[in-house]
Amino acid sequence: MKRRTFLHRASHALAAPAVMGSFGFTSSRRFSSFLRAQAESGKVLVLIYLQGGNDGLNTVIPLDQLSALNLVRPHVILPENKLLPISGTELAFHPALDGFSTLYKEGKLKIIQSVGYPEQNYSHFRSTDIWMSGSDSDQLVSSGWPGRYLNHEYPDYPEGFPNATDPDPLSIEIGYGSSMLFQGPATSMSMVLKDPTSFHELIDNVEEESPDTYAGDKLKHIRLTARQSQLYGEVVKQAANKVTSQQHYPDNNELAQQLKIVARLISGGLKTPLYMVRLGGFDTHAAQVMASDHTLGEHASLLADLDNAVKAFMNDIEFMGLGDNVLGMTFSEFGRRIISNASLGTDHGAAAPLFVFGNQVEKGVLGTNPVIPAAATFKDNLPWQFDFRQVYGSVLEQWFGMQLQDRASVLMSDFSTLPIIGEDVITAVRPDVEQSRLKVYPNPVAEMATIDFISSGAPMKIEAIDMLGRPVGHIFSGVLAHGNQSLQWNTRELPAGNYYVLMQSESTRRTVGVVKLN
Amino acid sequence: MPIDDQDPRSKERFQWIEKFRKVKPMILESPKTSAQHDATPRTRTREVTSGLEPYTGPWEEAQARHLLARTLFGIKKYELDHFKGLSAGEAVDKILTPSEPPPPPVNDYNGIEADAVDPNVKLGESWLQAPHGGDKEGYRVVSLKTWQIKNIIRQETNIHEKMILFWNNLLVTKVWDVYIAKASFHYYDMLRRNALGNYKSLIRELTLDPSMLIFLNGTKNAKGAPDENFGRELQELFCIGKGPGSKYTEGDVQAAARVLTGWGIDWTPYDNAGTFKAGFYADRHDDTDKQFSSFYNNKIITGNGANELDDLLDMIIGHEETSKYICRRLYSFFVYNDISETVEQNVIEPLAEIFRSNDYEITPVLRALFTSEHFYDPLNKGVLIKSPAEHLLGLWKTFDVKSSNENELPLNYIVRRSMHWHMANLGMEMGDPPNVAGWTPYYQAPQYDKAWITTDTITKRAITTDSLLYWGFWISSEIKINADIIGFVYKLDDPSNPSELLKESATLLLGLDLSDTVMNNLKSVLLSGQLNDAYWTTAWNDFKASPSDPNKKSIVQSRLQATFKQMLQLGEYHLM
């Protein structure tokens, strides 16, 4: 039996029946196969941290709010005729994001509007910790959500790692110093590559310069030994050396150079499923735009770097034939204030849009446009529509195939998920349950709807959720016999609007969009 | 008990020791020489040519730091502040002032595990007089070793503890080999009393030290069948050395061994209360004349019983080669390992002259060295690699790491036992150098202290620093001890200023100055990638204004953790 098949069966044999029960931390290694299964299938998540707080309102512009925006952020407002409209929506990209615009048209970019969390904290440090740890605003957690995820999958790490089964780093971050992101409950789960230079030093055996003294001689010895002791140095080097050509990446673009390394390592066969790269400088209190031309300035060049880097990365990954295996996601500790300031900048704010990109994303926009009060003052901030942990949970679920109760243990709560990955991809994770064929009719619906599906025979739950991912109506929970099933759903109490019907069981998740009429 | 070579120690002791000695002694070998690991210093490196002439340059932080780094285990902020305010002369005088003896070790182990019950000594009482503890003696042995660790982390600001390590490494006994804790205490106490005293007195006491008589078989050395062990090491390792001028012969080794016949110990205190003492047993002494080689001017020590000992030591120590050898060992321990022709001429020879003309007093030699132009040459900065003692105990001291209850004896024992075995894993088991020559990094050319750093030990060193900063230094599954990194930073001059915080911390912890690039990188970690220093300043001041607010504390703590993790993994951290 192939190992993956075995793990697959084992996980089913051991599956807990109480899917909808309480979600404590599971101590068993019951699902420890999943990440490895993913690694074998080559699924990779690349997190792009936009350091400093990205100005969401100048990144994805709600066109229906332009008159209010012109009033409240005159110092940074972008000229409408330069914006890149997003078809089928009342949104537009910043003019520097032409690559994102193309990705969107190709169905490879998902925009999630107004992502944030309750009781926004406006400190860079604290809010970064919240985003990286996945904690509540008032909760102190010193591990990162991917760190806990990896710890859940590899509870023994670092004892006995690397080994024949798991020869590669569990996660790689590029940046000086390890972030909280990959900090597990007891140990750091990442390999840190200081910067592209140190990566090239590693793979090319270049030495850091040491002074021409006896002390320099000792320093050189210590550094060489340290490099040789890098448990993962050799596998990273081997992976990198397998790749002899890559597509073009822009020079003088810090992020592009980092993503170039990530693409190289993925392509070289490294099974590492998680990467983090960073782009700094989004803290645009002043000179966010140029006075003479608001489409230029600090923010425009940062977005251009982001755009060019992601474009080059997607192009390279596609060229290597790995486009279907890679998912990217941006995050930033907060958005910026609704109103602008006289220094041609914006101050710390709250919710902001978040991007998920890759061949496998479910295209489109999640959420509604933010509403800009025409009389906004410095006290006003954008409310969140989606909790950032819903996004994390969705990625864990739909990209890494993680079970509901395990997600709840990693994220410390059971967050509703959002449709981020295309259906066929989600179900590919669990081929045995992909035939659930969820259908809702009539659609639009005014009163009673019929929900048809094929039950796997496992415990399951069906509920209605709104566009924010919040549960708005319980439909069914329990066990139904394997085979065709049909349920009646009374929608009379539900206000008019757009909803999803969400069907989930331990191992699958399906959604269907439904429009409720008056 | 009759006085003879009948060692009363049970053969079972090897199994008992096995139970206590959890870490197999590790000998750090020189790695294979390769293009990357050139073992010898590169020829392009510059050499320090200055000599013993008194240092006349400025006395500033850099000089004070260098003196403290070499003579202490880790530097505390207040120590550096105090020393940079002194003159060079005052600073060196203070460094060379010995400490009062610390309170002796006590039973701090009863009850730490089910069978930890000393048959003779109650918790909190001294075991220095007690009869041998048999299979429980190992608790006393560890108690002695952890007592040494305590003395180091609680050291006063002087060279005393460092000198004890210097002598321990040079005049080796191995505590587990002896397996009589009170005899080994006697040895340590002897090193402590003589650490900054007279070298001749030290060697005389060493020769008659009960644990040395046991360790190098002096107790078995009798006429008819002399045991040459001590007679050899006395010359090869303790006095003459193996320098280019060392030409003593095998005949000299045998003659010395014959002089030393008859010296032994009374084993009575093994099964009884009391302390071990050396004694001279004339019937075991070879009273014939001993002829030495031309290296010793063909000296003959005529048969004269116990009095021959002083003739022997005067002859050996009086040889010029001894003064040079000891000065070389001091130089390589405190300044730089590899001694060039130039250094031999400009430093070692004049230092040896001072040693001889001061009748082998140690302090004048150290004073001359520590006040010399040579010692403060910037090229000697950061040129030694921290031993596990300087790494672990030094960091412990600098960070002022505290266990939850400093006064609880068994807890202290458990904590320091853990530190002891951690050091052993790094290649330095306190009290038990791998062989009679000491720890290899202190003497093995050409690798010297580079041997402290292997792919294994550097990973473990990173685990020390990471665990102290993050999840706690592992003592047991219930006890993990963290460094109070906020407390450390709090005492700095200006912790609200990121650049000053880093600069001051680096001065205390690292052996070489960092480049601006590395400093900026560290700053970016402290600032979580933000570009404006004010974010740290605000966070720090907010914390300072409400230190009990867990939120504010967590913000500064998590950044300090990430920053110091990075700083302590720099190559410069391992230099001193």
Residue A95 has what pLDDT? 98
Phi, psi angles (nearest 5°) of residue B156:
-80, 170
Q: Do A222 and B458 touch (CB under 8 A)?
A: yes
How confident is the model over A77-96, as a mean pLDDT?
96
DSSP state of B42: P
Task: Give first-to-last CA distance, chain A, whole Å.
Answer: 55
Farthest-apart Cα atoms in chain B, separation: 83
pLDDT at A13 over 90: no
Burial B234-263 (b: 16+ CB within 10 A, else e): bbbbbbbbeeeebebeeebbbbbbbbbbbb
Q: Does B555 touch chain A (CB under 8 A)?
A: yes
Pairs of CB atoms within 8 A across A/B: 135
Pairwise CB contact (< 8 Å): B530 & A51: yes
Taking residues A176-180, what's their average pLDDT? 81
Q: How far apart are CA B67 and CA B64, in angstroms?
A: 5
Other CB atoms within a 10 A radius of the CB of residue B213 amount to 26
User: Rounded to a whole number, what is the distance in Å from the CA of A31 to chain B's nearest CA?
Assistant: 26
**Contact residues on chain B for A52, CB-CB shorter than 8 A:** 529-531
- Beta strands A345-348 and A336-341: pairing type? antiparallel
Nearest to A129 among B36, B535, B558 (CB): B558
Q: What residues of A are in contact with residue B387 (Cβ under 8 Å)?
A: none
Delineate the domains of chain A, giving CATH numbers in brackets.
Answer: 3-428 (no CATH), 432-516 (2.60.40.3080)
Express each pLDDT in A482-495 by its tens digit: 888 999 999 998 88
The predicted structure's pLDDT at residue A122: 92
pLDDT at A435: 53
User: Residue A444's CB: how many other CB atoms inside 10 A?
Assistant: 13
Structure tokens at A354: 């978040």
Hey, is A279 helix, strand or coil? strand
pLDDT computed for residue A199 by the predictor: 80
Residue A432 pLDDT: 35
Structure confidence at residue B38 (pLDDT): 45
> Minimum mean pLDDT among A189-198, A200-209, A491-500: which range?
A200-209
Q: A221 vs B37: CB contact, 8 Å cut-off? A: yes
The pair of three-digit structure tokens given for residue A376, joined into one six-digit string? 């906004």
User: Which residues 406-425 of A are in CB contact (within 8 Å) with B?
Assistant: none
What pLDDT shows up at residue A395?
95
Q: Is A225's CB within 8 Å of B455's CB?
A: yes
List the single residue in B381, B551, B569 with the smallest CB-CB distance to A140.
Answer: B551
Looking at residue A26, its pLDDT comes to 28
Contacts of B528 in chain A (CB under 8 A): 51, 124-125, 128
Q: Would you place residue B476 in the very low, low, confident or very high pLDDT band (cuts 50, 70, 90)?
A: confident
Beta bridge partners of A497: A516
Cβ-based neighbour number of residue B77 at 10 Å: 19
3-state secondary structure of B434: coil
**Residues 445-484, chain A, touching B (beta carbon < 8 A):** none
SS3 B494: coil
**Does a cis peptide bond (omega within 30 degrees of 0) precede residue A353?**
no
Q: Rounded mean pLDDT of B423-451? A: 92
User: Is B562 at the interface with chain A, CB within 8 A?
Assistant: yes
Q: Could you tell me if B539 lies within 8 Å of chain A, comparing CB atoms?
A: yes
Q: Which residues contact B236 (CB under 8 A, 6 or more apart)?
A: B242
Q: How confident is the model at residue A464 (pLDDT cuts 50, 70, 90)?
A: confident
CA distances from B452 to A207, B1, B221 (A): 21, 45, 36
Q: Nearest chain B residue to A50 by CA: give it.
A: B529
Count helices and strands (H / E) in chain A: 14, 21
In this prediction, residues A57-81 reach a mean pLDDT of 96
Inter-residue contact B118 to B109 (CB < 8 Å):
yes
CB contact at 8 A, A123 and B539: yes
Residue of chain A nearest B36, judged by CA positions: A224
How far is the alpha carbon of A213 from chain B, nearest alpha carbon, in Å?
5
- In order, the DSSP letters of A208-232 are PP--SSHHHHHHHHHHHHHHHH-TT
* DSSP letters for A389-447: HHHHHHHHHHTT---HHHHHHHHSS-PPP---B-HHHHHHTSGGGGGG--EEESSSBSS
- Which of A233-237, A351-355, B528-532 holds the top average pLDDT? A351-355
A394 shares contact with chain B (CB less than 8 Å):
no
Mean pLDDT of A264-281: 94
Which candidate, A169, A171, A126, A116, places its Cα nearest to that of A148?
A171
Least confident of A10-24, A342-356, B50-64, B70-84: A10-24
Asked which of A193-207, A240-254, A293-307 is least confident by mean pLDDT, the reply is: A193-207
Mean pLDDT of B217-223: 91
A240 CA: distance to closest CA in chain B (Å): 21
Which residue did the predictor score with more confidence, A432 or B365? B365
- Residues 6+ positions from B282 with CB-CB distance below 8 Å: B262, B305, B306
pLDDT tens for A225-247 read 887 787 788 888 889 999 989 99
The band of A423, judged by pLDDT with boundaries at 50, 70 and 90, is low
Q: Are strands A274-279 and A171-174 parallel, antiparallel or unpaired?
A: parallel
Residue-wise pLDDT tens digits, B155-199: 999 999 999 999 999 999 999 999 999 999 999 999 999 999 999
DSSP string, B271-316: HSSS---EEE-GGGS--S-EE--GGGTT-EE---GGGHHHHHHHHH
**Best B528, B536, B563, B570 residue to mutate vs chain A (most A CBs within 10 Å):** B528
pLDDT digits (tens, 9 = 90+) for B324-375: 999 999 999 999 999 999 999 999 999 999 999 999 999 999 999 999 999 9
Comparing CB atoms, the residue among A187, A219, A280 nearest residue B531 is: A280
**What is the per-residue pLDDT for B30?**
56
Interface test with B, best of A214, A219, A232 (most B CBs within 10 A): A214
In this prediction, residue B125 carries a pLDDT of 96
Contact with chain B for residue A281, Cβ under 8 A:
yes
Cβ-based neighbours of B458, under 8 Å, separated by 6 or more: A222, A225, A226, A229, B574
| Domain extents in chain B | 198-335+338-360, 485-574
Distance from CA of residue B138 to its chain's centroid? 22
Q: Compute the nearest-CA separation of A78 from chain B (Å).
A: 25
Assign A193 a pLDDT band (cuts: 50, 70, 90): confident
Dihedral angle sign, alpha carbons of residues A286, A292, A294, A300: negative
Q: Collapse the DSSP code of A188 into the 3-class scheme (helix H, G, I; strand E, B; otherwise coil) and give the result.
A: strand
Selecting from B453, B559, B563 the residue whose C-beta is nearest the C-beta of A222 gives B453
Tell me, what's the ipTM? 0.85
CB within 8 Å: B572 and A281: no
pLDDT digits (tens, 9 = 90+) for B50-88: 999 999 999 999 999 999 999 999 999 999 999 999 999
Q: Where are the beta strands (DSSP E) in A146-271?
A: 171-174, 190-193
CB A390 within 8 A of CB A469: yes
Mean pLDDT of B301-316: 97
For chain A, what is the largest distance between any 2 Cα atoms, rounded to a whole number of angstroms? 84
In this complex, the residue of A213, A226, A278 whose CB is nearest that of residue B45 is: A213
Q: Do A325 and A42 form a contact (C-beta atoms < 8 A)?
A: yes
| pLDDT of B443 strictly over 50 | yes
Tokens of A301: 């060049």
* pLDDT at position A27: 27
In chain A, which residue's Cα lies nearest the Cα of B521?
A: A176
Predicted local distance difference test score (pLDDT) of residue A24: 25
Kindly report, residue by residue over B488-504, the tens digit of the pLDDT. Answer: 999 999 999 999 999 99
B134 touches chain A (CB under 8 A): no
pLDDT at A192: 84
Q: Give the span between the Cα atoms of A467 and A515, in whole angstroms.
A: 11
> Chain A partners of B42 at a C-beta cutoff of 8 Å?
212, 217
| pLDDT over 70 (residue A468) | no
Residue B109: is its pLDDT beyond 60?
yes
Taking the C-alpha atoms of residue B200 and residue B428, their distance in angstroms, rounded to an integer, is: 28
pLDDT band at A205 (very low <50, low <70, confident <90, very high): low
What is the arrangement of strands in the sheet containing A459-466, beginning at the earlier edge strand?
A471-479, A459-466, A497-505, A508-516
Q: Which of residues 498-537 of B touch A (CB under 8 A)?
A: 511-512, 521-522, 524-525, 528-532, 535
What is the rounded average pLDDT of the residues B411-421?
92
Exposed/middle/buried for residue A64 (C-beta within 10 Å: 0-12, 13-18, 19+):
middle
Give yes or no for a contact between B95 and B159, defined as CB atoms under 8 angstroms apart.
yes
Residue in A with minimal Cα distance to B459: A229
pLDDT score of B563 more than 60:
yes
Q: In the prediction, which pLDDT does A72 show? A: 96
At residue B256 the predicted structure's pLDDT band, cuts being 50, 70 and 90, is: very high
Residues of chain B with C-beta less than 8 angstroms from the C-beta of A128: 528
Q: Provide the pLDDT for residue B4.
A: 52
The Cα–Cα gap between B310 and A469 comes to 92
* Chain B contact present for A226, CB below 8 A: yes
Residue A254 has pLDDT above 50, yes or no: yes
Identify the weakest region by mean pLDDT among A33-47, A254-268, B258-272.
A33-47
Eight-class DSSP state of A491: -
In angstroms, the CA A308 to CA A98 distance is: 9
Report, as an integer, the average pLDDT of A406-423.
89
What's the rounded mean pLDDT across residues B201-230?
94
